[in-house]
C-alpha cells in the first residue's frame, strides 16, 4: 500500500507541482487548501494574482481534479486572524517590524496540516516551499533550495524534528523554470503561468500603513535626534521601521534615517546613515531544527531579512537565545525580524532580533568552531 501524503494546495504552481511530483513518485496524494484570509471583498490591485481568493481555491480544486486526487478545504481564517494578523498589528504597536509568513508557517500551516494528516491517517504532509530536506541517521537536515533565487528556507527555521520527519518539500530540488515547465507538460495550464504571490498575502496592495490605520489606535509622539533634540512629531510609531528615510519631516541637510523606536516613550529616534550600522545583535527564542544548540561559539552566515544577503558572523549561544557578532558591521538590524543562521547550505537555526546591542559577550571572544 502506498504511503499517504497531504499536500497544502494554495492554488499556485509550486504546490500544484509538489502534488504532481509526489503522485509520480508513487504516493497516495490528498490535496488540502487552507482558507487563511478572505480577500474577496477587498479592493484588489489590477490583475491581482496572489492568494487568498475564491479563484485560488478553484484553481487548487481544478489541479486536484486533473490529477485525480481528493481535495478538501480547511477554514482557518479565525486562527489566521489571531495568530498572524493580530500578531502583525501588535508587533508594529510595540515598535517592531514583524515577518508574518514565519508566524503563518509556525502557527497555522504546518500545525493544521499535521492535524489533517492524522485524521486522514497520512504518513506525511507536503508543501510547495523552495527548500530541501535531507534525511540522515542523525535526523532531517533543513537545507537551502537548489534555486537560490527562490529559496524559502529562511521562513522555515522554526520547524523541529517532529515536523521535519513527517514533511516533504519536493520542489526545492528544482529551479523555478523547470517547475513551470512540469506544470505545463502535465496539462496544469490553470497554474503553469500564474504569477508568484508577492509581499504580505493579506495586504495585496502592499500599503501596510493604510491597513494598520484601520485596525489600531495610534498615539502621536516626538521625532528626535540622537541627542534628544525634538525635530518634529509623528502620528504613531506603527508607521516606522529601522532604516526608514521617508516621512520623517527632518530639516534639510544630511539625510536622516530611523535609528531606533522607543515604544515606552512613543518616540522615533533619527540620525545619520552611519548610526544604522551594528556590529552585534541579540536574538531571542532561537530554534535549532536539528534539536541541538552549539556548545560554544560557531561561525555562521546570517540573514537578518528575508531578501538580504548573508553576513559572516560568530554565533554565541546564550540560554534560549543568542548573541551574533558580525565580522563586518551590518545596516538596519531591525527588532522583530528573523535572524537565520546558515553553515553552507544547511540551516543551523534562527530566532527573533531584539532591540539593544549590549550583548554581554567580551570583545576578546573565544575562537569559534565551524
CATH of the domain at 68: 3.40.50.620
pLDDT in tens, the chain (370 residues): 899 999 999 999 999 999 999 999 999 999 999 998 876 555 555 555 555 577 889 999 999 999 999 999 999 999 999 999 999 999 999 999 999 999 999 999 999 999 999 999 999 999 999 999 999 999 999 999 999 999 999 999 999 999 999 999 999 999 999 999 999 999 999 999 998 876 788 888 888 889 999 999 999 999 999 999 999 999 999 999 999 998 787 656 789 999 999 999 999 999 999 999 999 999 999 999 999 999 999 999 999 999 999 999 999 999 999 999 999 999 999 999 999 999 999 999 999 999 975 434 444 444 455 4
Q: Which triple of cell numbers denotes residue 10? A: 494554495
Q: Which of 52, 64, 101, 104 is catalytic?
A: 104
pLDDT of the residue at 246: 85
* Whether residue 258 is found in the same domain as residue 343: no
Q: Which triple of cell numbers denotes residue 320? A: 534560549
* Whether residue 34 is found in the same domain as residue 108: yes
pLDDT of the residue at 254: 84
Query: What's the pTM?
Result: 0.91
* Whether residue 281 is found in the same domain as residue 297: yes
CA–CA dist 88, 101 (Å, integer): 10
Does residue 16 contact residue 9 with C-beta atoms inside 8 Å? Answer: yes
Burial classification of residue 87, based on how many CB atoms lie within 10 Å of its CB (0-12 exposed, 13-18 middle, 19 or more buried): middle
* H or E segment and range at residue 224: strand 221-225
pLDDT of the residue at 38: 76
Contacts of 316 (CB under 8 A, 6+ apart): 297, 322, 323, 324, 325, 359, 361, 365
* Whether residue 238 is found in the same domain as residue 335: no
Q: Is residue 199 part of a domain?
A: no
We report the CATH number of the domain holding residue 234 as: 2.30.30.280
Q: Is residue 129 part of a domain?
A: yes
Residue 101 is a catalytic residue: no
pLDDT of the residue at 248: 85
Q: Is residue 206 part of a domain?
A: no
pLDDT of the residue at 44: 53
Number of domains within the chain: 3
pLDDT of the residue at 55: 85
* Whether residue 259 is found in the same domain as residue 290: no
Q: Which of 238, 255, 271 is the last residue of a domain?
A: 271
Q: Which of 239, 255, 271 is the last residue of a domain?
A: 271
Pick from 309, 275, 300: nearest CA to 351: 300
Q: Which of 52, 64, 101, 201 is catalytic?
A: 201
* Whether residue 120 is found in the same domain as residue 262: no
The dihedrals phi and psi of 116, each to the nearest 5 degrees, come to -65, -40
Q: What DSSP state is assigned to residue 110?
A: H
Q: Which of 157, 192, 227 is the last residue of a domain?
A: 192
Q: Is residue 197 part of a domain?
A: no
* Whether residue 167 is found in the same domain as residue 236: no
* H or E segment and range at residue 159: none
Q: Is residue 363 part of a domain?
A: no
pLDDT of the residue at 200: 84
We report the CATH number of the domain holding residue 291 as: 2.40.30.10
Q: Which domain holds residue 341?
A: 276-354
* Whether residue 186 is found in the same domain as residue 280: no
Q: Is residue 204 part of a domain?
A: no
* Whether residue 150 is found in the same domain as residue 225: no
* Whether residue 250 is found in the same domain as residue 333: no
pLDDT of the residue at 37: 83
Q: Is residue 200 part of a domain?
A: no
* Whether residue 23 is found in the same domain as residue 84: yes
Does residue 283 contact residue 323 with C-beta atoms inside 8 Å? Answer: yes
CA–CA dist 297, 19 (Å, integer): 41
The dihedrals phi and psi of 161, each to the nearest 5 degrees, come to -65, -35
Q: Which triple of cell numbers denotes residue 366? A: 573565544
CA–CA dist 96, 254 (Å, integer): 26
* Whether residue 244 is found in the same domain as residue 257: yes
Amino acid at each position: 500500500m502506498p504511503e499517504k501524503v497531504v499536500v497544502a494546495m494554495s492554488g499556485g504552481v509550486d504546490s500544484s507541482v509538489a502534488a504532481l511530483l509526489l503522485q509520480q513518485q508513487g504516493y497516495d496524494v490528498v490535496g488540502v487548501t487552507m482558507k487563511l484570509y478572505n480577500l474577496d471583498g477587498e479592493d484588489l490591485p489590477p490583475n491581482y494574482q496572489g492568494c487568498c481568493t475564491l479563484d485560488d481555491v478553484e484553481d487548487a480544486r481544478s489541479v486536484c481534479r486533473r490529477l485525480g486526487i481528493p481535495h478538501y478545504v480547511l477554514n482557518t481564517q479565525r486562527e489566521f486572524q489571531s495568530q498572524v494578523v493580530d500578531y502583525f498589528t501588535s508587533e508594529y504597536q510595540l515598535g517592531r517590524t514583524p515577518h508574518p509568513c514565519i508566524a503563518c508557517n509556525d502557527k497555522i500551516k504546518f500545525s493544521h496540516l499535521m492535524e489533517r494528516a492524522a485524521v486522514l491517517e497520512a504518513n506525511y504532509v507536503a508543501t510547495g516551499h523552495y527548500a530541501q530536506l535531507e534525511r540522515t541517521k542523525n535526523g532531517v537536515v533543513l537545507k537551502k533550495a537548489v534555486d537560490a533565487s527562490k529559496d524559502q528556507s529562511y521562513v522555515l527555521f522554526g520547524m523541529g524534528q517532529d515536523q521535519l520527519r513527517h514533511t516533504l518539500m519536493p520542489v526545492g530540488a528544482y529551479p523555478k523554470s523547470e517547475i513551470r515547465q512540469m506544470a505545463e507538460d502535465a496539462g496544469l495550464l490553470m497554474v503553469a503561468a500564474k504569477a508568484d504571490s508577492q509581499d504580505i498575502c493579506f495586504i495585496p496592495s502592499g500599503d501596510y500603513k493604510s491597513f494598520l490605520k484601520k485596525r489600531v489606535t495610534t498615539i502621536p509622539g516626538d521625532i528626535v535626534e540622537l541627542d534628544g533634540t525634538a525635530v518634529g512629531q509623528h502620528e504613531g510609531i506603527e508607521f516606522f521601521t529601522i532604516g526608514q528615510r521617508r516621512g520623517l519631516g527632518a530639516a534639510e541637510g544630511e539625510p536622516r534615517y530611523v535609528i531606533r523606536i522607543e515604544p515606552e516613550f512613543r518616540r522615533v529616534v533619527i540620525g545619520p546613515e552611519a548610526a544604522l550600522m551594528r556590529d552585534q545583535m541579540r536574538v531571542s527564542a532561537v530554534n535549532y531544527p536539528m534539536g541541538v544548540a552549539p556548545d560554544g561559539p560557531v561561525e555562521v552566515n546570517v540573514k537578518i531579512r528575508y531578501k538580504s544577503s548573508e553576513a559572516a558572523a560568530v554565533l554565541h549561544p546564550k540560554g534560549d537565545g543568542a548573541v551574533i557578532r558580525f565580522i563586518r558591521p551590518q545596516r538596519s538590524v531591525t527588532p522583530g525580524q528573523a535572524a537565520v543562521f546558515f553553515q553552507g547550505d544547511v540551516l543551523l537555526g534562527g530566532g527573533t532580533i531584539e532591540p539593544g546591542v549590549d550583548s554581554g559577550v567580551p570583545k576578546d571572544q573565544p575562537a569559534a568552531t565551524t
